[in-house]
Structure 1
Amino acid sequence: MANVFGVQIFFIVFRECLEAVIVVSVLLSFLKQTLGQPGQDQKIYKRLERQVWVGAASGVLLCLVIGGAFIGVFYGLGKDIWSESEDLWEGIFYLIATIIITIMGLALLRINKTKEKWRGKIAKALAERNKKQQTSTSSRIGDWSRRYVMFILPFITLLREGVEAVVFVGGVSLGLPATAFPLPVVCGIIAGLTVGYAIYRGGNVMSIQIFLIVSTCILYLIAAGMFSKAVWSLQYHVFAVKVGSDVAEEGNGPGSYDIRETVYHVNCCNPETDDGWDVFNAILGWQNTGTYGSVIAYNMYWIGILATIGCMLYRERTGALPLRQRALAFMLKVPVLRNYAKRKQEMSREEVDEVMRQIQDDTRNDAGLFKTEVSSEN
């Protein structure tokens, strides 16, 4: 199963695809509220709506090209690099994958807040675009960006999300064969589009949230197993170097593991040699030999996840973590950290609504000017 369907790849693609759908839905909702009402020019509305879809499709297409090139180069050049120290590389790759999956899981838990987050981001982007227009209204670039802003925004946004997905998928699948990519990518895209469409159409938010929570739990089961496997692989590499032979050829019996570091060992259920157990190894991190390091790592991972989710719940209820505002205020005074602190400062709902109202007025004016320009050209 692990050679055909990479479960972690599915969840990464699902999450990124879902966020991309939410971005497009926010833009389409913005256009409908601004120009799609009865009595308004439907021709302009349809043209701008088409820009959103073309921009989104172009961004996704470019991401697929980048992703295909990335996978081709990686599997074309990278196979011989770690063939002599497979356990060492697997330990490093599993550690990287654990970090990436953990971050993605936390983001998946907050996906119900993503629509509001992207609404604020898009409001900021449109406001900055308008400011630039006011300073360079006579330039051709400013005029072009004004006319095709609904193409530029989804194109750049989905391109960034797609490149992020390529990097994340590459990170979590460094130890998997190329055959484990196509099926989970297709299934992840379909699942992301389906759930995103349900959110856009105003489906049962509670059932969607339950689905996302269950998905995150599965994702963390995989990540916990990967973290345990990372420690296990690194310890196994150290043992193999000390023994000075191919330990894997010893099978399941004595000599195949370091008894000084072992908590438990069973002479069966080896994911490397016994059929079927590789599925549990891929999903849950099962090994027929448990070391002190791998067992402690598994438990410490869950303690860390519980602490992180506790902090998220505290922030959800109180509005901010302790000392967060003071830390951001301090970073704003440091030139190197100023831009980072500005990105982390969130707009309030009232500020977002006010910016969106201003942008809607500007968009209506731009649409009227755009209509006049088109009429004069014809």
Structure 2
Amino acid sequence: MVNVFAVPVFFICFRECLECTIIISILLAFLKQSIGGPQQDRAMYKKLLKQIWFGVGLGVFICLAIGGAFIGTFYGLGKDIYGNTEDIWEGVFGLIASIIITIMGIGLLRVSKLQDKWRVKIAQALEKHHSGQGLGMGSRFKIWCEKYAMFLLPFITVLREGLEAVIFIGGVGLGLPAKSIPLAVVCGLLVGCVIGYIIYKVGNTTKLQIFLIISTCFLYLVAAGLFSKAVWNFEMNAWSKLTGGDAAETGSGPGSYDIRKSVWHVNCCNPELNGGGGWGIFNSLFGWTNSATYGSVISYNLYWLAVIVAFASLGFYERRGHWPLLKPKARSTDHATIDSDQTSEDLQEKKNHAVVTSQHNAEISD
């Protein structure tokens, strides 16, 4: 069995593919339900659909190119470039993906309430052509992100997960027969894609508001795990430098973690060993680790605290018209003057109309 089907490789491909397909299927189902109907803007739907698939394709291409370069360098020069900075790569990509998912989640929950306004906003973002003159770098970057929002999330997700899968397979494959890898890779990708397709079909048949709530809650669980895992990766990188090697390669026992920063540690359920099995899937989706640190636990709780505060503030703003702890904006003098002038003009027009009417009635009576 081991000579034909490498189980660790299967779990690696399955867990990395699963996270990608879940996020992509949620985006596709969201687009289909919100603007993909026959009576809706098909041109805008096709543009956004192209953004998603272009992000997926470009992410796959870049991760294969970079992963191939890392593996080629490892075998050709005997230097594991990626392995020395693996935790930094994963931490940075995880942090970026967490921020993007969090921002997108706020928009997803508001779509059903502001569907028409949202469609117009996306259409305007797609059609904007800014010269960039008079705009700062931050403004130009914000405009670009708005225009290609549906490209960024699948691109970052596929790039991060794909690169991780390529390197993990390269590392695990060193001790496995070469012929045992292809079937495991294909099966892992197929199972992940099938689950993603099921989520897409379920999303299409569910009421939009219910689908948005469930999918957004799930995406926030993923984002919280990514944020916590990113902090854990940065701490693990510091520990690996301190010990002079890759601490993850030492297994689950002593030396694999910094006991000074440890909140809990169990010698089983390690998502980093032999593909991780089911624990690897929990790690990929929710940030599970068998060796939690103060940083990873605190960051996980701080993430949810920030999300709660953000949604509470948004709810307060919608009800009151201003942000918490800030005074309501007073109506400007210009607006007040315009309103008073308009009111005076309306009253004068009504008065003139009344005079004309009375004169007309007098003429008729005469």
Same-fold call, TM > 0.5? Answer: yes
Q: Compared with structure 1, are the counterparts of its residues 262 and 118 closer, same or farther at alpha carbon in structure 2 (3 Å cutoff)?
A: closer
What does residue 85 of structure 1 align with?
A: 85
Measured against aligned partners, the alpha-carbon deviations of 1:27-75 in whole angstroms (never above 9, x if no partner) come to 825xxxxxxxxxxxxxxxxxxxxxx646754764576356424421342
Match status 1:267 vs 2:267 = yes
Measured against aligned partners, the alpha-carbon deviations of 1:169-218 in whole angstroms (never above 9, x if no partner) come to 122344313778887678767756775677xxxxxx5xx42332222222
Q: Aligned equivalents of 1:221 and 1:209: distance in 2?
A: 18
What does residue 166 of structure 1 align with?
A: 151
Match status 1:76 vs 2:61 = no
What is the letter of the counterpart of residue 165 of structure 1? Answer: M
Deviation at 1:116, TM superposition (A): 2.4
Task: Give the 4+ runs in structure 1 shifted more than 4 A.
Answer: 52-59, 122-125, 160-163, 178-198, 322-327
What is the letter of the counterpart of residue 160 of structure 2? Answer: G
What is the letter of the counterpart of residue 3 of structure 1? Answer: C
Q: Compared with structure 1, are the counterparts of its residues 267 and 186 closer, same or farther at alpha carbon in structure 2 (3 Å cutoff)?
A: closer
The partner residue of 1:305 within 288, 304, 307 is 307
What does residue 28 of structure 1 align with?
A: 39
3-state secondary structure, aligned to 1:85: helix
Q: Compared with structure 1, are the counterparts of its residues 162 and 63 closer, same or farther at alpha carbon in structure 2 (3 Å cutoff)?
A: farther
Match status 1:19 vs 2:31 = yes
Are the counterparts in 2 of residues 315 and 321 from structure 1 also a CA contact under 8 Å?
yes
3-state secondary structure, aligned to 2:292: strand
What is the letter of the counterpart of residue 108 of structure 1? Answer: L
Q: Aligned equivalents of 1:256 and 1:57: distance in 2?
A: 49
What is the letter of the counterpart of residue 18 of structure 1? Answer: F
Are the counterparts in 1 of residues 55 and 155 from structure 2 also a CA contact under 8 Å?
no
Q: Compared with structure 1, are the counterparts of its residues 264 and 108 closer, same or farther at alpha carbon in structure 2 (3 Å cutoff)?
A: same
Are the counterparts in 1 of residues 48 and 150 from structure 2 also a CA contact under 8 Å?
no
List gaps (5 residues or longer) in structure 2: 1-10, 71-80, 129-144, 166-184, 333-366
Deviation at 1:83, TM superposition (A): 3.7
Q: Aligned equivalents of 2:45 and 2:238: distance in 1?
A: 48
Q: Compared with structure 1, are the counterparts of its residues 185 and 105 closer, same or farther at alpha carbon in structure 2 (3 Å cutoff)?
A: farther
CA RMSD of superposed structures (Å):
3.9
Q: Aligned equivalents of 2:231 and 2:122: distance in 1?
A: 42
3-state secondary structure, aligned to 1:28: coil
Task: Summarize the alignment of residues 40-59 of structure 1 with structure 2, pairs less than 5 Å apart.
Answer: 53=42, 56-57=45-46
Q: Aligned equivalents of 1:123 and 1:237: distance in 2?
A: 43
Equivalent residues, number: 265
Deviation at 1:290, TM superposition (A): 1.1
Q: Aligned equivalents of 2:24 and 2:47: distance in 1?
A: 21
Measured against aligned partners, the alpha-carbon deviations of 1:132-181 in whole angstroms (never above 9, x if no partner) come to xxxxxxxxxxxxxxxxxxxxxxxxxxxx9894323211223443137788
Match status 1:104 vs 2:115 = no
What does residue 293 of structure 1 align with?
A: 295
Q: Compared with structure 1, are the counterparts of its residues 193 and 18 closer, same or farther at alpha carbon in structure 2 (3 Å cutoff)?
A: farther
Are the counterparts in 1 of residues 35 and 42 from structure 2 also a CA contact under 8 Å?
no
Which has the larger Rg? 2
What's the TM-score, normalizing by structure 1?
A: 0.58
What does residue 64 of structure 1 align with?
A: 53
What is the letter of the counterpart of residue 102 of structure 1? Answer: T
Percent identity over the alignment is 39
Q: Compared with structure 1, are the counterparts of its residues 262 and 279 closer, same or farther at alpha carbon in structure 2 (3 Å cutoff)?
A: same
Q: Aligned equivalents of 1:98 and 1:123: distance in 2?
A: 26
Are the counterparts in 2 of residues 23 and 118 from structure 1 also a CA contact under 8 Å?
no
Are the counterparts in 1 of residues 261 and 293 from structure 2 also a CA contact under 8 Å?
yes
Q: Aligned equivalents of 2:44 and 2:100: distance in 1?
A: 28
Task: Summarize the alignment of residues 218-233 of structure 1 with structure 2, pairs less than 5 Å apart.
Answer: 218-233=218-233
Q: Compared with structure 1, are the counterparts of its residues 195 and 252 closer, same or farther at alpha carbon in structure 2 (3 Å cutoff)?
A: closer
3-state secondary structure, aligned to 1:267: coil
3-state secondary structure, aligned to 1:272: coil
Q: Compared with structure 1, are the counterparts of its residues 163 and 20 closer, same or farther at alpha carbon in structure 2 (3 Å cutoff)?
A: farther
**Comparing 241-250 and 5-14, the one that deviates more:** 5-14
Q: Aligned equivalents of 1:304 and 1:94: distance in 2?
A: 17
